[in-house]
């Protein structure tokens, strides 16, 4: 378990570092995929097979594709490298550090973490599905409605480009709006 | 005797791993299974290419390969040697690292999908509880490899081909996955082994309980098969490599063995999708009739697989290529709604039972949905004989 975990941890962190430091945006996106795969491997190593495979299916199969599409189709796609150094790095550092601090605090505050023992038995897919369909059916429906609304919104934004008449100049379509689709 | 033959490979694997210490035994067994899968399906790939060229040549009234070996049957060996010794050309402007990694990123997930296929009784290399999800997760990762190949070549045609391929694979992935959910609902399991076991003939019955023998199962099987054609970029869905428009699609700039890897990944993807279709709908390794149970289980699997591959070749030899808008219309306006209608139909089947009542209720739903969706897809256009403006008749 342990050497595999360290390998996956290195893969995940290495991918994340490369995603932040590489110059070519497509290389960054591909490095991020390495991070996704590493995380999925960590989930699989923990015995959460459903979660790990869903991670691969959704993030590698869909989100990564969307990412590279957005990179290639939005402005600046002709450029191979980002040369602009961000001037205002300190607000970015503040926001990023603050978010990271909150997340770490939340994780550390979890009572289960102190036990350091595995749960008695891992939930099966059947148990996951049953709890989703009974205890958590309302959150599931809310998420479904939210995603449907985002989907319809994206379709409306994409369609308004074609049907625009001279007197009715609808909202300017931007490809970034499509990002909400998933 | 029949039982020995049935479990021949299982016993062989057991004998090979038995002397090893307990801790590494599953890993060694997995490695041996992977090696066997690579060997068997690598050979299948070679033989299929020859058979395909021969069969298509027959359909097109020509001879096909007939120089190497008896009836040209060793052509695949000659092709293999040729690709191995060919120069590997990488364009100067190509993104060297991504260009190198793309064929590997395509082939590895495709090979991984074979791990969850049950080739026979007790013959699943990795019997996961979520085997079906593993298959789809590995299959979904190939799209990124296609993008890597198309983008890194720095060629407009290859990028166009990659965009086409990704649009097609994303669109057809929805019916590909949705058509299998009915099976999961009826079986109540995501494990491929359990899905096959649920389709065996019950004691006393003469006919097996294959899902394809039900109204919703037949419709889902056809949807799954069509989506599998599209996922493996086979004709009539071979727009990503449409020779007449974009030369060869996303692998234009690959030569030598890297091209062979792309070619191999395409065929292996076809095999694994066919294998999954066999597992989900055609009863996997179970016999169709109870009195044929003495035939070894793996023979059933590979026999069914061979029939599906022959179907793939037949369709390739006889259908023209779709247009891009037809491709998208078909996926989103016909296959996706039909796949969604199949889900409640499978639920009704579950409660109505597999007797005449189930047939009476579910068959009209499936047929009605098929007819209505097909009519709406064709729309108001009248289909008549095509008149050619420039060609002489």
Which is more confident, B40 or A76? Answer: B40
Answer yes or no: is A39 within a domain.
Answer: yes
Which is more confident, A179 or A157? Answer: A157
Q: Looking at residues B239-245, what average pLDDT do you find?
A: 74
Q: Helices B142-152 and A25-45, interaxial angle, to 10°?
A: 160
Share of chain B above pLDDT 70, in %: 98
Q: Which residues of A touch B95 (CB under 8 A)?
A: 24
Q: In degrees, to the nearest 5, what angle opens at C-alpha B104 toward C-alphas B146 and B98?
A: 65
pLDDT confidence bin for B296, thresholds 50/70/90: confident
| pLDDT at A179 > cutoff 50 | no
> Is the CB of A65 less than 8 angstroms away from the CB of B166?
yes
CA-based nearest distance A52→chain B, Å: 9
| pLDDT at A3 > cutoff 90 | no
Q: Which residues contact B359 (CB under 8 A, 6 or more apart)?
A: B215
Tell me the range of A160-174, B2-16, B228-242 where mean pLDDT is highest.
B228-242
State residue A116's pLDDT score: 57
Answer yes or no: is A47 within a domain.
Answer: yes
CATH of the domain at A24: 1.20.120.1200
Q: Which of B140, B166, B170 sits opposite A60 (nearest CB)?
A: B140
Q: Which of A24, A60, A124 sits opposite B144 (nearest CB)?
A: A60
Which is more confident, B264 or A116? Answer: B264
| pLDDT at B319 > cutoff 60 | yes
**Averaged pLDDT score across all residues of chain B:** 84
Share of chain B above pLDDT 90, in %: 7
Lowest mean pLDDT among A72-81, B221-230, B239-248, B358-367: A72-81
Structure confidence by residue, pLDDT tens digits, B161-199: 888 888 888 888 889 999 998 888 888 888 888 888 888
- Per the listing, tokens 């939005």 go with A74
Domain count, chain A: 1
CA-based nearest distance A178→chain B, Å: 15
Q: Give which of A3, A47, A48, A57 to mutate to test B binding, by max B Cβ within 10 Å.
A: A57
> Is the CB of A126 less than 8 angstroms away from the CB of B144?
no
Q: A22 CB near a chain B CB, below 8 Å? A: no
Peptide bond into B151 cis (omega under 30): no
pLDDT confidence bin for B250, thresholds 50/70/90: confident
Claim: this prediction has a pTM higher than 0.80:
yes
Tell me the two tokens of residue B289: 């009739």
Q: Which of A54, A56, A69 sits opposite B141 (nearest CB)?
A: A56
On whether the CB atoms of residues B96 and B272 are closer than 8 A, the answer is no
State residue A99's pLDDT score: 94
Q: Looking at residues B221-244, what average pLDDT do you find?
A: 84
A44 — phi, psi (to 5°)? -65, -40
Q: A77 CB near a chain B CB, below 8 Å? A: no
| pLDDT at A44 > cutoff 80 | yes
| pLDDT at A169 > cutoff 50 | no
Closest chain A residue to the Cα of B151, Cα to Cα: A26
Tell me the two tokens of residue A156: 């409306």
pLDDT confidence bin for A168, thresholds 50/70/90: very low
| pLDDT at B215 > cutoff 90 | no
Answer yes or no: is A72 within a domain.
Answer: yes
> Is the CB of A125 less than 8 angstroms away from the CB of B129?
yes
Q: A66 CB near a chain B CB, below 8 Å? A: no
| pLDDT at A145 > cutoff 90 | yes
Which is more confident, B11 or B136? Answer: B136
Task: Work out whether the CA dihedral A23, A24, A29, A35 comes out positive or negative.
Answer: negative
B124 — phi, psi (to 5°)? -105, 125
Q: Looking at residues B70-88, what average pLDDT do you find?
A: 85
Q: Looking at residues A144-156, what average pLDDT do you find?
A: 90
The distance of Cα B18 from the centroid of its chain, to the nearest Å, equals 34
State residue A161's pLDDT score: 57
Other Cβ atoms less than 10 A from the Cβ of B346: the count is 23
The distance of Cα B55 from the centroid of its chain, to the nearest Å, equals 19
ipTM > 0.85 for the complex: no
Task: Work out whether the CA dihedral A40, A44, A48, A52 comes out positive or negative.
Answer: positive
| pLDDT at A80 > cutoff 70 | no
Which is more confident, A65 or A169? Answer: A65
pLDDT confidence bin for A75, thresholds 50/70/90: low
| pLDDT at A182 > cutoff 50 | no
Lowest mean pLDDT among B191-200, B254-263, B374-383: B374-383
Q: Give which of B104, B105, B112, B134 to mutate to test A binding, by max A Cβ within 10 Å.
A: B134
> Is the CB of A30 less than 8 angstroms away from the CB of B134?
no
**Chain A residues 37-56 with CB within 8 Å of chain B:** 49-50, 53-54, 56
| pLDDT at A61 > cutoff 80 | yes
Domain residue spans of chain B: 94-376
The CA-atom distances, in angstroms, between B210 and each of A70, A105, B131, B217 are: 43, 53, 19, 8
Closest chain A residue to the Cα of B148, Cα to Cα: A30
Q: Looking at residues B271-297, what average pLDDT do you find?
A: 85
State residue B307's pLDDT score: 92
Q: A57 CB near a chain B CB, below 8 Å? A: yes
On whether the CB atoms of residues B118 and B218 are closer than 8 A, the answer is no
CA B74 to CA A32: how far, in whole Å?
A: 44
pLDDT confidence bin for B380, thresholds 50/70/90: low
Which is more confident, B227 or B322? Answer: B227
Q: Give which of A65, A70, A155 to mutate to test B binding, by max B Cβ within 10 Å.
A: A65
Structure confidence by residue, pLDDT tens digits, B120-133: 887 787 888 888 88
State residue A97's pLDDT score: 92
Residue A136: give the domain boundaries.
1-78+124-162
Answer yes or no: is A101 within a domain.
Answer: no
Tell me how far apart the terminal alpha carbons of chain B are, to the nearest angstrom. Answer: 63
State residue A102's pLDDT score: 93
Structure confidence by residue, pLDDT tens digits, B92-121: 888 888 888 889 888 999 998 998 888 888
């Amino acid at each position: 378990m342990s050497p595999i975990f360290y390998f996956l941890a290195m893969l995940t962190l290495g991918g994340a570092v490369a995603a932040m430091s590489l110059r070519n945006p497509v290389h960054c996106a591909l490095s991020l995929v390495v991070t996704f795969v590493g995380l999925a491997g960590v989930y699989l190593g923990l015995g959460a097979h459903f979660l790990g495979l869903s991670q691969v299916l959704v993030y590698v199969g869909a989100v990564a594709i969307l990412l590279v599409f957005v990179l290639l189709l939005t402005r600046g796609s002709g450029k191979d490298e980002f040369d602009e150094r961000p001037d205002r790095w300190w607000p970015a550092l503040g926001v990023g550090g603050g978010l990271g601090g909150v997340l770490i605090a939340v994780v550390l505050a979890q009572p289960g973490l102190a036990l350091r023992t595995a749960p008695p038995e891992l939930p099966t897919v059947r148990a996951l599905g049953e709890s989703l369909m009974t205890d958590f059916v309302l959150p599931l429906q809310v998420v479904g409605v939210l995603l449907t609304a985002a989907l319809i919104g994206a379709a409306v934004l994409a369609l308004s480009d074609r049907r625009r008449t001279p007197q009715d100049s609808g909202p300017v379509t931007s490809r970034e709006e499509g990002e909400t689709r998933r | 005797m029949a039982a020995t033959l049935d479990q021949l490979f299982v016993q062989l694997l057991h004998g090979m791993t038995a002397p090893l210490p307990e801790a590494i035994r599953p890993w060694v067994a997995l490695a041996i299974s992977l090696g066997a899968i690579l060997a068997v399906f690598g050979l299948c790939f070679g033989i299929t290419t020859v058979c395909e060229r021969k069969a298509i040549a027959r359909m097109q009234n020509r001879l096909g390969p007939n120089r190497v070996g008896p009836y040209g049957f060793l052509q695949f060996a000659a092709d293999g040697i040729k690709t191995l010794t060919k120069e590997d050309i990488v364009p100067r402007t190509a993104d060297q690292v991504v260009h190198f990694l793309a064929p590997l990123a395509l082939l590895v997930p495709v090979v991984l999908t074979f791990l969850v296929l049950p080739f026979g009784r007790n013959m699943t290399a990795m019997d996961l509880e979520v085997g079906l999800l593993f298959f789809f997760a590995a299959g979904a990762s190939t799209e990124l490899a296609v993008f890597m190949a198309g983008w890194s070549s720095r060629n407009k045609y290859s990028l166009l081909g990659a965009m086409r391929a990704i649009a097609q694979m994303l669109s057809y992935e929805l019916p590909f996955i949705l058509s299998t959910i009915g099976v999961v609902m009826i079986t109540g399991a995501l494990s491929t082994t359990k899905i096959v076991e649920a389709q065996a003939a019950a004691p006393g019955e003469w006919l097996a309980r294959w899902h394809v023998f039900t109204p919703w199962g037949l419709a889902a099987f056809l949807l799954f098969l069509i989506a599998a054609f599209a996922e493996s970029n086979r004709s009539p869905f071979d727009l990503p490599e449409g020779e007449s428009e974009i030369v060869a699609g996303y692998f234009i700039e690959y030569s030598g063995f890297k091209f062979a890897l792309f070619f191999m990944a395409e065929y292996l993807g076809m095999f694994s999708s066919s294998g999954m279709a066999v597992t989900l709908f055609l009863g996997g390794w179970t016999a169709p009739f109870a009195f044929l149970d003495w035939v070894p289980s793996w023979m059933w699997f590979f026999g069914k697989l061979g029939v599906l591959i022959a179907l793939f070749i037949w369709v390739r030899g006889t259908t023209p290529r779709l247009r891009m808008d037809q491709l998208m219309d078909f996926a989103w306006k016909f296959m996706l709604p039909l796949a969604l209608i199949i889900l409640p139909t499978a639920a009704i089947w579950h409660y109505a039972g597999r007797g005449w009542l189930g047939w009476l209720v579910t068959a009209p739903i499936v047929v009605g949905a098929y007819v209505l969706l097909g009519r709406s897809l064709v729309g108001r256009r009248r289909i008549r004989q095509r008149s050619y403006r420039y060609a002489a008749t």
